Amino acid sequence: MNPQNSNSSLALALTELGEASGIQGSEEFVALAAAAEPADSQPLQTAFRLVTHFNRHEDLTAAFVDVLPDTLDLCESQFGFLAEICIGHSGLPYLQSHAVSNAHAGWPGGPILSGLQFHNLNTLNGAIITSGKPVLSNDPPNDPRSGGLPAGHRHLDSYLGLPFHFQGELVGALAVANRQPGYDEALVEFLRPFSLACSLVIGAWRSGPGVPRPH
């Protein structure tokens, strides 16, 4: 798919998403609809796949599971997750994963799982929530924001956490790890179309009637 066709197809998918969910007026919708730089062709294609899958199935978990392998390729990363921000019974926010790739020795089931929860805010994952900003670390073992790794977790050489905002609210996040030679602000900007698409599908998902809210 060339960049022009990618943009055209994404625009059509966004129109369908907006008409179905009523989110056309959001800042994120307008920003992604306006994306037209050929250099962003890969993120736009991944965004198109995500929005199209969500339009077809109206299922956030299924859409994130489908797109996570492409996301890891896009980020040149070994493993990671796509998650929604939820509020626990304690009143504190946490990351409710919808798609998590294999990052653990003895990983049960297939290569991608859903439903893992990350409650510890004193970690690199937690820093996404507490800061609401991208979290870049190219030396995680010595990063003061790191809370260490659970037993059996694969080694963390580098880390990127990207928050997803929708209409002023922190609604989700992407976390990826072990890109060589690490992560930088240029990659954050490169991924912006995909980040916007993730924000939009979470916003559309939450706008649907009877959508379950995990706790």
Three-state SS for 18-33 is HHHHCCCCCHHHHHHH
Q: How is the chain split into domains, by residue range?
A: 3-207
Predicted structure pTM score: 0.89
d(CA 211, CA 94): 18
pLDDT at 191: 95
CATH number of 3-207: 3.30.450.40
DSSP element (H, E) containing 210:
none
pLDDT at 6: 53
* Region of residue 39 (phi > 0: left; psi between -120 and 50: alpha; otherwise: beta): alpha
Please calculate the CA angle 174-179-181 and round it to the nearest 5 degrees: 140
pLDDT at 115: 87
d(CA 31, CA 9): 16
pLDDT at 13: 92
pLDDT at 39: 44
Query: Residues of the chain whose pLDDT is less than 50?
Result: 1-4, 37, 39-40, 215
pLDDT at 3: 46
* Cβ atoms of residues 180 and 76 within 8 Å: yes
d(CA 14, CA 29): 8
pLDDT at 113: 82
If you ran DSSP here, which 8-state letter would residue 191 be given?
T
Q: Decide the pairing of beta strands 117-118 and 93-101.
A: antiparallel
